[in-house]
Structure 1
């Protein structure tokens, strides 16, 4: 299932003029930072390491200007941003939910790093102020990231509040996810005492010292700890 998508239209590398435009943008930001910001951050993480060093400062400045809602002078990163998509090539980046996990589909296609990074930045411009700030913060995380687009990356974008293998449901419905992890009926009203009791019971069942399998134990225990944190917050 597609939970976030950004369609980018761009000139071909051999074209005499360098242009970029945005097509369909499905970038949900609720609950913050939302699937939208996670996708934008992943695109930035993919292409920022390929950006030529002399353009890096201009990109940082562009993000700051968009965050502040300022007028953006053209061109940026040697490209012009436009609304017209005629004659441009399309690339599509997606964030998918596959089972309980998030999967990125980053289309490297024929576009350049500059074009995709510009699209990520300009996609934030129409957002509400708070959403735009959250998206820009996520993009900055992506720009600085060096590594795979795995659970650790998602956790970093989300501020480190969830463990490396965080399921997609924990983003879309954190309370519901937490109750399922602890084995609590989702329509039940539970006290903090009950949450602590269920946490201890599930922790004992998940711990290798009590007969649970070593394989995946760390993730199960991290899930339980995060579920408790959510319900006690």
Structure 2
């Protein structure tokens, strides 16, 4: 199942004029950052390491300018952003859902220039409703700092959980997901009930109860994130 999609059109690397345009963008961002925000952050993270080091500071500046709705002089990162995509090469980046797991499907075929992919993520965020733009841009800026592999840990990093929480439900309906993880009935359970249930399940999840270290760490991370969501809701 496709959770989010970003279509990018870029000029060929050998073209004298470097151009960039956006195509179809399916970017659900409610509740923010949503699946759309995760995809944009992942695109920024996956391609930023291939961008010239001297050009990277301009990406963060651009993200703040676009977030504020400022007029953006062109070109940026040597690419001109335009509406028309006739004659440009197409790239498609998607966030997929497989059951309760998310996975990235990023187009890095031969001839894919990294700069336009990162720029496209930032410009796409600029088209979002103003109330969603800030949270999504923060996810993109976390992506700009990523220097690892394109895997679950990338989604953890840009999602800001700091833990192995990549369940589809975590972003589709955070409160319902958190209630399910803690086995509570909603909406808005009492804070004391949340804390009590968290402590009980945390004891069960501890490695001393026979679980493996990796499974225990993932379960503890899941419980911690569920508690955080319910206590700030």
Please report the TM-score for the alignment, with normalisation by the length of structure 2.
0.87
Residues 1:203 and 2:222 are matched in the alignment: no
Unaligned 5+ residue runs, structure 1? none
Q: Deviations over 1:7-54 (max 9, x none)?
A: 001111222321111000111111112211111111111111111133
Equivalent residue, structure 2, for 1:39? 39
Q: Distance in 2 between matches of 1:61 and 1:211?
A: 49
Shift of 1:69: 1.1
Equivalent residue of 2:92, what SS? strand
Equivalent residue, structure 1, for 2:2? 2
Equivalent residue, structure 2, for 1:124? 125
Equivalent residue, structure 2, for 1:55? 55
Shift of 1:126: 1.9
Alignment of 1:209-220 (within 5 A): 209-214=208-213, 216-220=215-219
Shift of 1:94: 0.6
Task: Give the RMSD, CA atoms, in angstroms.
Answer: 2.3
Equivalent residue of 2:93, what SS? strand
State the number of aligned residues: 231
Q: Is the 8 A contact 1:174 1:230 kept in 2?
A: yes
Equivalent residue, structure 2, for 1:77? 77
Equivalent residue, structure 1, for 2:229? 230
Equivalent residue, structure 1, for 2:92? 92
Q: Distance in 1 between matches of 2:96 and 2:145?
A: 23
Equivalent residue, structure 2, for 1:171? 171
Shift of 1:158: 2.8
Equivalent residue of 1:203, what SS? helix
Q: Deviations over 1:121-171 (max 9, x none)?
A: 2112222223222222221111111112334333332333x6223322112
Q: Distance in 1 between matches of 2:157 and 2:70?
A: 28
Equivalent residue, structure 1, for 2:16? 16
Shift of 1:95: 0.8
Q: Distance in 2 between matches of 1:163 and 1:57?
A: 27
Q: Deviations over 1:175-232 (max 9, x none)?
A: 21122222335x6774344434433443343333334455512211222233233333
Q: Distance in 1 between matches of 2:213 and 2:62?
A: 48
Q: Distance in 2 between matches of 1:54 and 1:198?
A: 50
Equivalent residue of 1:50, what SS? coil
Q: Deviations over 1:52-78 (max 9, x none)?
A: 133223333322321221112222222
Equivalent residue, structure 2, for 1:27? 27
Q: Distance in 2 between matches of 1:70 and 1:228?
A: 38
Alignment of 1:130-141 (within 5 A): 130-141=131-142
Shift of 1:2: 1.1
Shift of 1:107: 0.5
Unaligned 5+ residue runs, structure 2? none
